[in-house]
Amino acid sequence: MPLLFMSSLLSLSPMAGAAELPLTIAGDFVVRVGPGEVEVNGKRVGVLAAVDLQVAPPEVVTVTDEAHGRLPVFNDKAAPWTKGTKLRGATTLETTAADMLVPDSVRVKLAKDDGEALEPDKDYGIDRRWGTVGRLEGGRIGDATPVYVDYQYGVCRLDSVVVDAAGKVSLLAGKSHVNVPWPPEVPAGQKRVANVWIPGRLSKLAEANLFPVQAEAYPEPPQQHPTPAERLLPKSLAKLRSGEKLTILAWGDSVTVGTFVPDWEHNRWQEQFVARLQERFPKADIELTTVAWGGRNTQSFLDEPPGSQYNYKEQVLARKPDLIVSEFVNDASLDPAGVEQMYSQRLADFNQRGAEWAILTPHYVRPDWMGLPSERDCDNDPRPYVKGLREFAATHNVALADASLRWGHLWRQGLPYTTLLLNAINHPDQRGMKLFADALLALFP
């Protein structure tokens, strides 16, 4: 999560569709709201004078004597969240959250309380950005030596600026979390006009921390006639309408594995999609199968030998599904030419077996992995892979469920998109999974 520092008074002018209340930074942790107007409960409400709201800095948590029975050898060449033992305060669902650890706060000791601090880069290695620690060969920490760690880390928060029917402006504090804070509940009779994004380590507010609520939801475009499903998925749609069994194969990577999501049996994108298809087509008889492999891409399935649980021919083609829905954020290294080469052969395989295909564009991942300078003004996905998917689908008349557009719109709904990533990197929560299901449902009448 980028730390953005800007000085003095910063202005954020109202944007199209936003509440007509100007928001500015009026101090290190002060947001100035108004004057202006906003609609509350269907009525125009005036905020007659500017109101300054004091925002609490991010909470810093102090940890003392965190016990670790043993430290692995520090591996500086591994992924940063796997270089050593994860400090628990900075740990997300699966990894660690970057930029949450207060770097100079770490003390590794052989005894509790005020035991002698061991020496970094001599006794132990540490990734101060990602919060992982490991022992160094030749240091004072043996293979089975228990250690105790003191450190501090910050936690994130989303606060909400709200206005009531009398024009009173106030700030609702959100609940802190290391990486997926939810905005606070807004009481009846009040309107959320903006969220204030407080990353875990922030010295002062900047324009990038202000997220005016320009839209309550993604603006669904008018439905096409005929719909994409009527044009591109006619056999699947006919079975949905008739009640004949429809077999759907969800094929993908770890996002399709999805067992990191709470209540995953209902909250993975494919389960949400099928449940909502069933609601839309009550006569439907749908059978869902998932074939997914974490940390892999399309080529990985092609490379697997016969007999493997991930062999492409046996686990994807031989199942002879009616509809294949693919999700591969791990194909994001492909450029448009690579997409054409890889996906045109898959299309030929599916056509030969009578299977229809819907492709999901990927969700947004860490901003630095995508080349995004901010989580605001990020409507347009910059990845060549996404451009390639859109071109491929248009050229070959393949159904495209463009979930990327919905992720790029989250900032307009007042949400930094990383607050939907359970591992602070690339694994969506149930809200993020819903965006995939929304994009798929939009294909159908």
Q: Judging by DSSP bridges, how do beta strands 210-212 and 190-198 pair with one another?
A: antiparallel
* Predicted confidence (pLDDT) at residue 142 exceeds the cutoff of 60: yes
45 and 95 in a common domain: no
Task: Specify if 222 maps to a domain.
Answer: no
Question: Can you state the angle between helices 384-396 and 336-352, rounded to 10 degrees?
Answer: 40
Residues 232-249, mean pLDDT to the nearest whole number:
98
Is 1 within a domain?
no
| One-letter amino acid of 247 | T
Q: Domain for residue 182, yes or no?
A: no
Tokens matching residue 72: 């692995």
Residue 18 banded pLDDT, cuts 50, 70, 90: very low
For residues 101 and 117, state if they share a domain: yes
Does 232 share its domain with 370? yes
- Strands 399-401 and 356-360 come out as parallel
Contact 266, 256 (CB under 8 A): no
pLDDT at 443 over 70: yes
Number of domains in the chain: 3
Where in the sequence is the domain holding 112, given as residue range(s)?
60-154
Can you tell me the distance from the alpha carbon of 326 to that of 324, in angstroms, rounded to the nearest whole number?
6
Does any domain span residue 5? no
> Rounded distance, CA 330 to CA 360, Å?
12
Nearest CA to 323 among 293, 354, 348, 352?
354
pLDDT tops 80 at residue 9: no
From 227, 243, 244, 232, select the one nearest 444 (Cα to Cα).
Answer: 227
Asked if residue 128 lies in contact with residue 76, where contact means CB atoms within 8 angstroms, the answer is no
Q: Give the C-alpha distances (Å, rounded to integers) separating 125 from 86, 91, 108, 228.
A: 12, 18, 10, 54
Look at residue 16 and tell me whether its pLDDT is greater than 60.
Answer: no
Measured distance CA(189)–CA(442) in Å, rounded: 32
Instruction: Specify whether 24 is located in the same domain as 78.
Output: no
Residues 192 and 73 in one domain: no
Question: Are 207 and 244 members of one domain?
Answer: no
- The reply to whether 108 and 26 lie within a common domain is no
Compute the Cα dihedral for 316, 406, 430, 286 and give only its sign. Answer: negative
pLDDT tens-digit readout, 338-385:
999 999 999 999 999 999 999 999 999 999 999 999 999 999 999 999
* 304 and 419 both lie in a single domain: yes
124 in Cβ contact with 134 (< 8 Å): yes
pLDDT score recorded for residue 116: 85
pLDDT reported for residue 92: 95
Same domain, 433 and 339: yes
Going by C-alpha positions, the residue among 232, 245, 230, 247 that lies closest to residue 445 is: 230
Same domain, 267 and 371: yes
Kindly state whether residues 415 and 300 are assigned to the same domain. Answer: yes
**Residue 4 — very low, low, confident or very high, per pLDDT cuts 50/70/90?**
very low
Split at pLDDT 50, 70, 90, the class of 93 is confident
- Does 353 reside within a domain? yes
In a domain, 295, yes or no: yes
Q: Are residues 250 and 311 in the same domain?
A: yes
pLDDT digits (tens, 9 = 90+) for 387-423: 999 999 999 999 999 999 999 999 999 999 999 999 9
Does 14 have pLDDT greater than 60?
no
DSSP state of 307: T
Give the Cα-Cα-Cα angle 411, 416, 421 (nearest 5 degrees). Answer: 130
Q: What is the pLDDT of residue 258?
A: 97
Q: Which CATH number do you get for residue 392?
A: 3.40.50.1110
Helix or strand run (H / E) with residue 266: helix 264-267
Instruction: Report whether 52 contacts 30 (CB < 8 A).
Output: yes
| 3 falls within a domain | no
Model confidence at 20, pLDDT cuts 50, 70, 90, reads confident
Whether 208 maps to a domain, the answer reads yes
